[in-house]
């Protein structure tokens, strides 16, 4: 952690741009290679469509994809928000009440053995086709990391903070709101990031198993029609959606908790020096 990191600011900006250049170059290289492989081997489009065919499909099917992206994004977001709305209060209860913890936490941990994606068909039977089951699947799968990380965050405090607050005559609720929860936020955001990635998986699986719209549904239909170009075009949309949604959480964290990254980096820098 000496010479390079302490370089002049201009140098660091150049380094950062170079850092982005490398993956971009690799990405473009891979696409070119892909195109070449398709041309050289003459592989059938049913197996592997050329990148140009995918781009072609993205433009021709733009309307369909855009139209179906909306319900997918909605299912992801509603599922995620639902998971936060249920997961955070549950975590607070678990952290606050030993009785509650003893009665529910082991069951909750045990329930993680159930592969939630495999629950999709059951949920379809219970709630029928449509919006509700895919939201429930997204929620179910996203909810666990939120609970775990929130509980861990609420417990990650040095007990002397609580001693200090008690010597200030603080009420339990004040200790919770002004001390424990803010202190837990960085942990919670770590959970939110994982949860968002899982909510995306959940929503798509839900759409693949039982829905009549959404990108997951488009995926199944295109697959059935052996329209591989459209399958890949849909995947591109899903990648972009996933990057945007996880990015949104990252941005929210940076805006809401500027202290989190900085104090963490500072702590890291101190241990390295």
Partner 1 sequence: MIEISNVNKSFPTKDGTVVALDNVELDIGKGDFVSIVGPSGCGKSTLMMCVAGLAQPSAGRITIENQQVTGPVTDVGIVFQDALLLDWRNVLDNVLFQIEMRGLPKADYRDRALALLKRVGLASFENKYPWELSGGMRQRVALCRALVHDPPLLLMDEPFGALDTLTRDQMNIDLLNLCEGGNKTVLFITHSISEAIFLSDRVIVMSQRPGRVVEDIRISFDEERKLDIRSIPRFVEYEKRIYHTFRKLGVLSG
**258-272 and 181-210 are packed helices; what angle lies between their axes, rounded to 10 degrees?**
110
Among 241, 130, 133, 161, CA closest to 196 = 241
**62-96 and 131-155 are packed helices; what angle lies between their axes, rounded to 10 degrees?**
40
Nearer Cβ to partner 1 (11/163): 163
Q: How far apart are CA 26 and CA 28, in angstroms?
A: 6
The least CB distance from residue 185 to partner 1, in Å, is 8
The least CB distance from residue 88 to partner 1, in Å, is 18
Q: How far apart are CA 250 and CA 242, in angstroms?
A: 12
Q: How far apart are CA 155 and CA 40, in angstroms?
A: 59
Q: How far apart are CA 263 and CA 253, in angstroms?
A: 14
Q: How far apart are CA 153 and CA 183, in angstroms?
A: 7
Candidate residues 55, 170, 220, 249; the one interacting with partner 1 per rule CB under 8 A: 170
Which of these ranges, 44-52, 117-125, 130-138, 171-179, lies near partner 1 under the rule CB under 8 A?
171-179
Helix (H/G/I), strand (E/B), else coil: 226: coil
Candidate residues 223, 242, 246, 260; the one interacting with partner 1 per rule CB under 8 A: 260
Q: How far apart are CA 173 and CA 60, in angstroms?
A: 57
Which of these ranges, 22-30, 83-91, 153-161, 228-236, lies near partner 1 under the rule CB under 8 A?
153-161
Q: Does 178 bind partner 1 (CB under 8 A)?
A: yes
State which H helix or E strand residue 78 sits in: helix 62-96
Q: Which two tokens stand for residue 141?
A: 């799968």
Nearer Cβ to partner 1 (16/163): 163
The least CB distance from residue 158 to partner 1, in Å, is 7
Kindly write out the interface string for residues 105-144 of this chain, putting x where it contacts partner 1 by CB under 8 A and - elsewhere: ----------------------------------------
Q: Does 168 bind partner 1 (CB under 8 A)?
A: yes
Which of these ranges, 82-90, 112-120, 128-136, 167-175, lies near partner 1 under the rule CB under 8 A?
167-175
Which of these ranges, 14-22, 54-62, 115-123, 156-164, lies near partner 1 under the rule CB under 8 A?
156-164
DSSP state of 140: H
Nearer Cβ to partner 1 (126/177): 177
Which residues sit at the interface with partner 1, rule CB under 8 A? 158, 160-161, 163-170, 174, 178-179, 182-183, 185, 257, 259-260, 262-263, 266
């Amino acid at each position: 952690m000496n010479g390079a990191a302490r370089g002049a600011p201009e140098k660091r900006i150049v380094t950062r741009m170079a850092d982005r250049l490398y993956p971009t170059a690799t990405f473009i290289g891979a696409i070119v290679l892909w195109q070449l492989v398709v041309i050289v081997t003459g592989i059938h489009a049913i197996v592997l469509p050329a990148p140009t065919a995918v781009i072609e499909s993205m433009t021709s099917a733009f309307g369909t994809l855009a139209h179906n992206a909306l319900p997918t994004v909605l299912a992801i977001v509603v599922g995620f928000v639902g998971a936060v709305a249920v997961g955070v209060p549950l975590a607070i209860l678990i952290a606050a009440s030993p009785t509650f913890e003893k009665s529910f936490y082991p069951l909750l941990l045990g329930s993680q053995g159930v592969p939630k994606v495999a629950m999709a068909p059951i949920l379809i039977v219970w709630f029928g086709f449509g919006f509700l089951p895919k939201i429930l699947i997204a929620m179910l799968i996203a909810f666990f990391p939120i609970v775990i990380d929130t509980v861990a965050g609420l417990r990650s405090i040095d007990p002397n903070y609580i001693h200090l607050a008690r010597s200030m005559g603080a009420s339990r609720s004040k200790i919770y709101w002004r001390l424990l929860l803010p202190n837990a936020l960085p942990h919670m955001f770590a959970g939110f990031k994982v949860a968002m990635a899982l909510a995306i998986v959940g929503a798509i699986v839900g759409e693949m198993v039982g829905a009549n719209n959404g990108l997951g549904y488009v995926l199944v239909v295109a697959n059935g029609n052996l329209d591989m170009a459209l399958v890949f075009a849909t995947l591109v949309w899903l990648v972009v959606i996933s990057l945007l949604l996880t990015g949104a959480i990252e941005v929210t964290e940076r805006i809401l908790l500027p202290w989190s990254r900085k104090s963490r980096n500072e702590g890291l820098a101190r241990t390295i020096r």
